[in-house]
Chain A
Amino acid sequence: MAVVFDKPHALVDMPMHYCPGCTHGIIHRLVAEVIDELGIEGRTIGIAPVGCSVMAYDYFACDMIEAAHGRAPAVATGVKRSDPDKHIVFTYQGDGDLASIGMAETVHAAARNENITVIFVNNAIYGMTGGQMAPTSLPGQVTQTSPYGRDTKHCGFPIRVCEMLSELEGPEYLERVTVNSVANIRKAKKAIKKAFQNQIDGKGFSLVEVVSSCPTNWGMTPQAALKWIDDNMLPYYPLGVYKDRSAEEDAK
């Protein structure tokens, strides 16, 4: 019998600290599978964020660097520019990291079309600190710091990162995917693979936003959380490709 599915080599064989049913584990695996398939484990350097995935450096078999909160794209810029032909650099960031404290670094890395890959995990809440409202929390969403639901008059509106960055001239590739079903996981892997391939081909800044779940802080079962993505997250964060400059230029 042939093995049709097993843990990818680029993922270290150790238990992850994530809550039961947290989709971080799936997204870690997809990134590791892509690193395996492209055969780049030896020259890949990952940048870990602050947030639930702060210990991502323990789980990936490639070299990893821990960045200060939100500064992963800035650290990735430095690592990439130190040896652009050799290093494959990716950042793995949550919404509290990338869309809040790290917004400036994200936008400027995109504007510079820095040749890095960004994996952006959007679960609409601050997970590690106990479920506070994030820049991506939905209008009306109940969190620890918005117990009556996010009031947009007081707290403003959630940020759609892919749409916002797509207005910039800089970025090469922006896509939003989710991992709440087997079919969506396959699509997410395809997007992540393209984001890494773009970097290998020297095309520039590629960001894949993965709409993710947080069963613990959303206060529901893992199954209900995946359904909540369909019912609440995806209407506000529609899936799709927001920018693919090479494809647009080819079409001209």
Chain B
Amino acid sequence: MAKLTFKTDRCKGCGLCVDACPKKLLQLAADKINKKGHHPAEITDQEACVGCAACAMMCPDCVIKVER
């Protein structure tokens, strides 16, 4: 059981975290726009996340906090 917390307004929607997730649990929210005008990253299935932090390692903007 792991928990991801996103600083949504910092996200620039580059999608590097989406590709980094080995379980393909992340996506760019097509229905949301943050303060910067990007579609921010979000997790689709929090329960399935193992907290490997690959997404957070790839994120250039320290958007993701990982707890496990």
Decide: A21 and B19 in contact? CB cutoff 8 A: no
User: Which 3 residue pairs are nearest across A and B when measured between Cβ atoms?
Assistant: A25-B60, A21-B14, A20-B12
Find residues 1-41 in chain A having any chain B CB closer than 8 Å to their own CB.
1-7, 11, 15-16, 18-26, 29
| B24 CB within 8 Å of chain A | no
| B66 CB within 8 Å of chain A | yes
Residues 6-29 of chain B: 1 if any A CB is under 8 Å from the residue's CB, otherwise 0? 000010111110011000000000
Decide: A16 and B61 in contact? CB cutoff 8 A: yes
Decide: B60 and A11 in contact? CB cutoff 8 A: no
Residues 46-68 of chain B: 1 if any A CB is under 8 Å from the residue's CB, otherwise 0? 00000101101111111011111
Decide: B58 and A3 in contact? CB cutoff 8 A: no
Decide: A185 and B57 in contact? CB cutoff 8 A: yes
Residues in B neighbouring A3, C-beta threshold 8 A: 65-67
Distance, CA A249 to CA B64, complexed state (A): 42
Residues 86-103 of chain A: 1 if any B CB is under 8 Å from the residue's CB, otherwise 0? 000000000000000000
| A171 CB within 8 Å of chain B | no
Decide: B15 and A5 in contact? CB cutoff 8 A: no
| A222 CB within 8 Å of chain B | yes
In the complex, what's the smallest C-beta–C-beta distance from A29 to chain B, in angstroms?
A: 6
Closest to B5 in A: A6
14 additional A-B pairs beyond A4-B51, A15-B61, A25-B59, beta carbons within 8 Å, are A1-B1, A1-B67, A2-B68, A5-B65, A16-B60, A20-B13, A26-B59, A26-B60, A29-B62, A182-B57, A186-B57, A221-B15, A222-B14, A222-B15
| A142 CB within 8 Å of chain B | no
In the complex, what's the smallest C-beta–C-beta distance from A182 to chain B, in angstroms?
A: 5
Residues in A neighbouring B13, C-beta threshold 8 A: 20
Residues in B neighbouring A161, C-beta threshold 8 A: none
Distance, CA A181 to CA B58, complexed state (A): 7
| A226 CB within 8 Å of chain B | yes
Distance, CA A222 to CA B62, complexed state (A): 16
Residues in B neighbouring A1, C-beta threshold 8 A: 1-3, 67-68
